[in-house]
Amino acid sequence: MSDCPLNIPAGDHTAYLRYALSLAQKSPPKPSNYRVGAVMVNAATNEVLSTGYTLELPGNTHAEQCCFEKLAQKHSMGDGGNLDAVLPDKVALYTTMEPCSFRLSGNLPCVDRILKIGAAKIRTVYVGVYEPEKFVSDNSGRQKLQDAGISYVHIPGLEEEILEVATAGHEK
C-alpha cells in the first residue's frame, strides 16, 4: 500500500509528519472537525502500510480510524477488528495531531483503536501537535498510550502549519 509520493528516509520523523500534513490538507474544512493526517509505517522496513485523513471514509471518521479501516479492508477484515494479526512487529504511527481520547460522536476514540491493536505492534506514536481543547478538554490519550507501553513522541517544528491546516473552516 506504499502510496508515499516521496522516498522518505527511515527515521525522518519530520518528513513523515509533513507527509501526514499533506494528507490532512485533503480533508474538507468543517467547523466541527480538525483536519488531521495519519501515516502507518513498518519501522523495520520503512514501508508505508496505510494512510488516512479526517473524513476520508464515510461517517465522522478521524485520520487514524481511516488509516486502520483502509488497512483492514485491504486484508478483508471488515472494520479492523484484528489488525494485530496482519501487522509487522514494529509499527510507527505518525499523526499530525494527538490521537483523541474521547469522541463527542460516540465513535470509538482513536487512542482506544490504537490500544486495541496494542503495544506489541504499534510501538511508537509520533505527534505533530497536542490536541487543542476546543472540542474536548483534558485529552488523556498520551497517558493511556504511555501506560500501555506505547512510546509517545512529540516532533516539534510544524505546530503552526499543522494548526493552520487543522483549523481551516473554524471560526477565527
Mean pLDDT of 20-25: 97
Q: Is residue 6 part of a domain?
A: no
Instruction: Kindly give, in sequence order, each residue whose CB lies less than 8 Å from that of residue 112, ignoring residues fewer than 6 positions away.
Output: 101
Mean pLDDT of 147-169: 93
Q: Is residue 9 part of a domain?
A: no
Q: Is residue 36 part of a domain?
A: yes
Mean residue pLDDT across the chain: 88
Mean pLDDT of 99-124: 86
Q: What is the pTM of this model?
A: 0.91
- Identify the pLDDT of residue 2: 43
Q: Which of 123-127, 135-139, 143-147, 148-152 has the lowest mean pLDDT?
A: 135-139
- Identify the pLDDT of residue 77: 83
Mean pLDDT of 152-167: 94
- Identify the pLDDT of residue 118: 86
Q: Is residue 12 part of a domain?
A: no
Query: For residue 3, what pLDDT band results from cuts at 50, 70 and 90?
Result: very low
Q: Is residue 171 part of a domain?
A: no
| Cα–Cα dist 47/121, whole Å | 15
Which residue range is the domain that position 79 belongs to?
A: 17-166
Report yes or no: 141 and 99 within 8 Å, Cβ to Cβ: yes
Q: Is residue 145 part of a domain?
A: yes
Total structural domains in the chain?
1
- Identify the pLDDT of residue 79: 61
Q: Is residue 5 part of a domain?
A: no
Catalytic center residues:
64
- Identify the pLDDT of residue 38: 98
CA distances from 171 to 32, 43, 54, 133, 161 (A): 10, 38, 18, 15, 17
State the CATH number of the domain containing residue 68.
3.40.140.10
